[in-house]
A and B are shown apart, each in its own frame.
Chain A
Amino acid sequence: MSGHLTLPALLVTYALMLLPLALFVRLRLGLVRVTLVALVRMSVQLALVGLYLKWIFELNRPGVTAAWMGVMLLTANYDVLGKAGLRRRLFFSRTLMAIGASVGGTAAWFVLLSIRPDPPYDARYAIPIVGMLLGNTLRSNVLGLERFYGDIRRNEAEFETYLLLGAALDEAVRPYLRTAMRAAINPSLATMASMGIVSLPGMMTGQLLGGASPTAAIEYQIGIMISIFVSMVLAVLLNVRLTLSVAFDAYGRLRSEIFR
């Protein structure tokens, strides 16, 4: 077995798609067109990213690596607010700071203190790890922010009762922070609990297929799972903390204009 798929091997894999497509046609589900569009988009995007990453890895310049990570961060932040149903105009700089600090800090810890590549800014480590942290932080923060602000809006009378009973804003939001945090981390806790038995994670699978030893793949996987968990918890907490002052008015009322 070689370290990568050859073009004929890739075409054989594409042929596998004929099965669901044939079923869609046969059952008249109307899904052929969307599936083909998604397949083409995925293939073109990954091919372009592959070429781009190849160039970045070969260049291995800290400025270029940082710029690409900046693009990833901006895109993730844009998506978080859009999917959480919150107004980007009000939140963008604050959530950017929260996600940037939590992902950047955790990735720096893992790469610089655990992996210790030479040079320390090696794009081959920095970009995939930041990408994995961002992807997972994005999902958890969409769940967390949507749940946090949505719950306060849905339970306005209860929230106002806390304020009237003398709660400071940070005390009044605590029950909603608790449920938002649970919503954000539950999928990860479930994945962590079943990892290795029910599923082999993508990063580990990729490493094994690329020829790495199972021991090395597991070591990286443990490191990345811990980093993902820390990063998502920090990001949800920071996001809530940094957005409170724009989401509530001076009397502690939730501003309705934060929702899209």
Chain B
Amino acid sequence: MELCAGGRTLLAGADLRARAGEKVGLRGASGCGKSSLLKSAVGLFPLAAGEVVVDGVSLSPATAGAVRARVAFVGQEPALGAETVRDALLLPFRFKAHRDRRPAERRLLETLDSLLLPASIMEKACARVSGGEKQRVAMARALLMGKTIFLVDEITSALDPESKRVAMEALFRPELTMLSVSHDPEWLARCDRVVSFEGGRLEEAEGGT
């Protein structure tokens, strides 16, 4: 694939693959295009050349909905897009694509609990939850939607140690495939592979397990 922005080539001749369940870490200097690469996987950043294939489905305008249905994107400060946390968790199930899959209350509580979030957070205004809690709510929402592929952009940089531990526990599950941008040595050490952005190319880097 090839990525360009503002007339500048960010990435050329790159080939990045992740097997099911694999955790791939991405690292590189600020502004080198790591986040753009993640966004290109869900059609939110245009590819100058090349192709994105998710579970055998080639990303195109016609398949973007199907690809996005499998992929979760969690950023540093995720937009929850609703007034309260409960509304945010149930937001996807108000859209036609997921309307018939609204989770039961018990499943909501179990998912929150697995991310060490108390049940009371559901009634909290999204504007009043911390950055770390927002990330966990975004993860809980993705898990409720049954997403198994996660694109994660620098989520640990603003987290306290406890929130970071919980985020790692949630995302390094064997059944999840993850492509994550990070500068955190502890995070990268837990990845199966680490890929480095070097001079507009992707190179296998040392690190990972």
**Chain A interface residues (CB < 8 Å from chain B):** 155, 157-158, 160-168, 171, 175, 249-253
Contact = CB atoms under 8 A, between A and B. Distances in A.
B96 interface: yes
Interface string B103-117: 000000000000000
Given A155-B79, A171-B95, A171-B96, A164 B72 contact: yes
Contact of A164 (B42, B46, B61, B80): B42
Contacts of A164: 42, 44, 68, 71-73
A84 B204 CA distance: 48
A188 to B, nearest CB: 27
Contacts of A166: 65, 68-69, 92, 95, 97-98, 145
B91 interface: yes
A74 to B, nearest CB: 34
Contacts of B68: 163-164, 166
B86 interface: no
Contacts of B73: 161, 164
Interface of B: 42-44, 46, 61, 64-65, 68-69, 71-73, 75, 78-81, 91-92, 95-98, 141, 145
B30 to A, nearest CB: 18
Given A161-B78, A164-B72, A251 B95 contact: no
Nearest to A170: B96
A168 B95 contact: yes
B79 A161 contact: yes
30 contacts: A155-B79, A160-B44, A161-B73, A161-B79, A161-B80, A161-B81, A162-B95, A163-B44, A164-B42, A164-B44, A164-B72, A164-B73, A165-B91, A166-B68, A166-B69, A166-B95, A166-B97, A166-B98, A166-B145, A167-B97, A168-B65, A168-B95, A168-B97, A175-B81, A249-B46, A250-B61, A251-B44, A251-B61, A251-B64, A253-B43
A166 B90 CA distance: 12
Contacts of A250: 61, 64
Nearest to A166: B97
Nearest to A160: B44
A251 B81 contact: no
Contacts of B95: 162, 165-168, 171
A30 to B, nearest CB: 42
Given A164-B73, A166-B145, A167-B97, 5 more contacts: A155-B79, A164-B42, A164-B68, A165-B95, A253-B44
B129 to A, nearest CB: 15
A137 B91 CA distance: 34
A168 B94 CA distance: 11
Contact of A252 (B64, B72, B96): B64
Contacts of A165: 81, 91-92, 95, 98, 141, 145
A158 B69 contact: no
A252 B59 CA distance: 13
Contacts of B61: 250-251
Contacts of A160: 44, 79
A168 B95 CA distance: 8
Nearest to B101: A166
